[in-house]
Amino acid sequence: MHDGYTGESPKNRPPAAAGAHMLRLFRDIDGPAVSPQGCVACVGAFDGLHLGHQALIRSTIGRARELGLPAAVVCFEPLPREFFSPADPPPRLMLPGARLRMLQDMGVDIVGQLRFNKALTQLDAVEFIDRILVDRLHAREVRVGPDFRFGRGRGGDLAVLRERGEQAGFVASAIEPLALDDERVSSSVIRAALSNGDFATATRLLGRPYAIGGRVVRGQQLGRKLGFPTANLRFGRKPALQGIYATWVHGVGDHPWPSVSSFGTRPTVDGVEPLLEAHLFDFDGDLYGKRIDVEFVAKLRDEEKFDGLDALTAQMERDAVVARTLLKQ
């Protein structure tokens, strides 16, 4: 069964939803033209795919449909700030697979999820335009967000795009900043809201409840021994939130499943890698390998280290009571 993705990166592609259209994916700067007939493209980091990102992408898709061309999104993995500040990266809102799934669901036809590495950072703005937007994508129109900068030393901007576009045969434009209630929609504002447990603000700016999805992996089985079996998701990046939360788990039945979740590094059991552990109330089943989404509703407390497993278990029981109450379970 085909997973709904084509292109140069067969590894770790997320599965397409039933009936989803095909998404072409490329990762490298160089290679054959992905859209020889041309396309309408937009460029950005797109961490979180908030309402501002969505406005840019939807305008790109709309214009592409008008012209009868594919709609393309160019983004980066890792994020530029993750590459330049590996010791202190920005908290990540969305993992690459989730971003690809949402872009596909939005109707994007081509994604250039470029490997952000030393070779890419050495491209000046004109080289970036020529090798990616012109040679790989044959872009006819290019759209960017407000204040977008690109190329070596962040030397490229809308003016450079427009000047080069006149020479190379494409039109460049930028959308206006999106604001809600006089507040600009941005990934940094959403990160701050999540860090503070302000899910109302995060939901408003994202246009959807904040959730993290992935395939359930095997953990240490400690939760099961303590009477709190969990469905575990690896995050693999610095998360935008840590602590204990009331959550809904999607993907295990016909309706969201009430749960209490821990997201962090599990200091009581000497954990290191960020792990999302969701305990589904009154659930009996095997979720290993299943894809789920954990929606965050309310923060109960910060993660803390307890004096042994008995103290940890007692606190987990209290957390479960509070979460059930918040979720009216």
Instruction: Give the distance, in angstroms, between the CA of residue 272 and the centroid of all CA atoms in the same chain.
Output: 22
pLDDT of residue 270: 52
Total Cβ atoms within 10 A of residue 60: 26
- Predicted pLDDT of residue 222: 54
Q: Which of 160, 114, 107 is nearest to 137 (CA)?
A: 114
Q: Among all chains, which residue has been given the structure tokens 């576009």? A: 165
User: What average pLDDT does the segment 293-317 reach?
Assistant: 89
What is the rounded average pLDDT of the residues 224-245?
Answer: 84
Query: 38-63: per-residue pLDDT in tens?
Result: 999 999 999 999 999 999 999 999 99
Given a cut of 90, whether residue 35 has pLDDT beyond it is yes
Model confidence at 9, pLDDT cuts 50, 70, 90, reads: very low
Is a pLDDT exceeding 50 seen at residue 209?
Answer: yes
> What pLDDT is attached to residue 227?
56
Per-residue pLDDT at 305: 81
Q: For 65-100, write each residue's pLDDT tens digit.
A: 999 999 999 999 999 999 999 989 999 999 999 999
- Report whether 47 contacts 94 (CB < 8 A): yes
Task: Provide mean pLDDT across the span 15-40.
Answer: 84
Can you tell me the distance from the alpha carbon of 188 to that of 147, in angstroms, rounded to the nearest whole number? 15
Task: Please report, for residues 101, 167, 179, 213, 236, the alpha-carbon distance to residue 20 in angstroms, rounded to integers and kept in the order given.
Answer: 10, 37, 31, 18, 27
The whole-number average pLDDT for the span 199-218 is: 96
Render pLDDT for 255-270 as a digit per residue (tens, 0 to 9).
Answer: 999 999 999 875 444 5
Query: Among positive and negative, which fits the CA dihedral 292, 298, 304, 306?
Result: negative
- Domain segments of the chain as ranges: 20-180, 209-326
pTM to 2 decimal places: 0.88
Q: Residue 15 — very low, low, confident or very high, per pLDDT cuts 50/70/90?
A: very low
Question: Looking at residue 311, what is its pLDDT?
Answer: 85
Question: Comparing C-alpha atoms, which of 16, 26, 22, 3 is closest to residue 75?
Answer: 26
Q: How is residue 286 written in tokens?
A: 């095997």
pLDDT at 271: 52
Higher pLDDT, 327 or 270: 327
Average pLDDT, the chain: 89
Q: Choose between 2 and 199: higher pLDDT.
A: 199
Range 240-263 average pLDDT:
95
Name the band, by pLDDT with cuts 50, 70 and 90, for residue 220.
low
| Cβ count near 283 (within 10 Å) | 16
* Least confident window among 138-147, 173-182, 212-221: 212-221
Three-state SS string across 168-229, please?
HCCEEEECCCCEECCEECCHHHHHHHHHCCCHHHHHHHHCCCCEEEEECECCCCHHHHCCCC
For 20-180, the fitting CATH number among 3.40.190.150, 3.40.50.620, 3.40.1160.10, 3.30.2320.20 is: 3.40.50.620
Q: What CATH number was assigned to the domain covering residues 209-326? A: 2.40.30.30
How large a percentage of the chain has pLDDT more than 70?
Answer: 89
Q: Residue 1 pLDDT > 80, yes or no?
A: no
